[in-house]
Amino acid sequence: MLALRRTEADRNLLRRAASHSFTPTYPRPADRAWLKFNLTSLVMVVSTVVYCLGASGAGAGDKSNAAGAKPPASAGWPISTPLPPAAEDMRQAIETAIHSGDIAELKVAYDLGELKADIADQPVTDPVAYWKAQSSDGEGREILAILANLFAVGAADVARGRDAENNSVYVWPYLAEVPLDKLSPAQKVDLLRLMPPAEAKAMLEKKTWTWWRLTIGADGLWHAFKKGS
């Protein structure tokens, strides 16, 4: 009887052990959906953080340019797109004077704007007389030739002023807006099209633009035409 009771007790023990044996479980469909949702949410959060960090870095770069640092030469310089109509009208008025060969015709373009272009470091009452005095031939034709060369090399489109819709200023030659210590071989050829080699060499050594520069606003205003930085 004792042996039998032991045997029965052993059987009961085995039954209890079997009832507590490990049975592998797998995520239910609802659990799998919950896990997928949370993984997707985590990926979206990480992507948002990375984007914000990138935008913050870009903003810092924009601030440094706004502070006055000269940007590198744009791949689009000299520009190949048409000028705004008002700027093109002024450019054509200047080009008409170039083709006429008469420096007096340049005053026609000069007088088109209510604000007169900056053409000298000192106030000028007679622009035609001033241009003739600046021209080695005494007739102003060298000035017209310089303008022709500036147009031939091409312009840079730079943003100046706070009016985002009308702050484009077109600068001839585009080289005046490019760091002179970073010119490509082709750009150095353009430089030599504009001035004598000795002056080009001096400018490259000083890393400062000292040749003629013409600027016209997108609104057609002739801003300046003068020699110097």
> Domain map of the chain by residue range?
85-179+211-227
CB 222 within 8 A of CB 90: yes
Quote the CA–CA distance of 217 and 88 in Å, as a whole number: 10
Output the pLDDT for position 228.
83
Quote the CA–CA distance of 194 and 189 in Å, as a whole number: 9
Output the pLDDT for position 131.
98
Output the pLDDT for position 28.
53
* HEC profile of the chain: CHHHHHHHHHHHHHHHHHHCCCCCCCCCHHHHHHHHHHHHHHHHHHHHHHHHHHHHHHHHHHHHHHCCCCCCCCCCCCCCCCCCHHHHHHHHHHHHHHHHCCHHHHHHHHCCCCCCCECCCCCCCCHHHHHHHHCCCCCCHHHHHHHHHHHHHCCEEEECCCCCCCCEEEEECHHHHCCHHHCCHHHHHHHHHHCCHHHHHHHHHHCCCCCEEEEEECCCCEEEEEECC
Q: Mean pLDDT of residues grouped by 10 in the chain (229 residues)?
A: 49 52 48 48 44 42 40 69 96 98 97 93 95 97 98 93 72 96 95 96 95 96 91
Mark 183-220 as b/e (b = at least 16 C-beta within 10 Å): beeebeebbeebbeeeebeebeeeeebebbbbbbbbeb
Output the pLDDT for position 4.
42
Q: Of 187, 155, 189, nearest to 173 (Cα)?
A: 155
Output the pLDDT for position 60.
40
Output the pLDDT for position 62.
38
Output the pLDDT for position 113.
86
